[in-house]
Structure 1
């Protein structure tokens, strides 16, 4: 399993990529999508929602289970990926390409505190 080095990671298997405008894209890792199995439904947070770090903010359902996605950092939702709502299986075929939502972090330094790709690999190893 490849773990992109250009992102940060959480213990609950979310990835975070800092974008040029200072927002962060959030998705689930390949490890998480593999554990869930065939994804059939995604419920995303609303644009404008204020999220607290570590709190559940959306749900991904598969044929075997439903799993919560947690906000990796506190912030405001500035965009959601409607394409994954329309085609949930796209997460299975490319978990690191299928972002779920974008956040404007309340504190950009909080992103730096998340795990590196190397640390995440050790965490799931």
Structure 2
């Protein structure tokens, strides 16, 4: 359907053709976003070149439309998968542990709060 592989590719894959587990983690983050968006096209109708430029400029997909606008644990995981530096992305073993924890102990939906949202905690700093 005219989908560009740039929609799923990590920046280092697009720039240098480097494929690794870390680049697979980036792609997995995009696939998670697609699943949570019920198959919506990532980056909507942006061209492959526009996606490449936007990602290089630091753009990351917002929470899928059906998710709360504030960061949820699942969207924070997606953002972790989209770290520009491949060494800062979680390993699949960490992703598995975190997803298992989310399934076993889901976070209840939160209403709007009066406190300002704190920045996402890097995956490496979270307790499992």
TM-score, normalized by the shorter chain, greater than 0.5:
no
Greater gyration radius: 2
Q: Which has the higher contact order (CA 8 A, sep 6+)?
A: 1
Scaled by the length of structure 2, the TM-score of the pair is 0.33
More helix as a share of residues: 2
More strand as a share of residues: 1
Scaled by the length of structure 1, the TM-score of the pair is 0.34
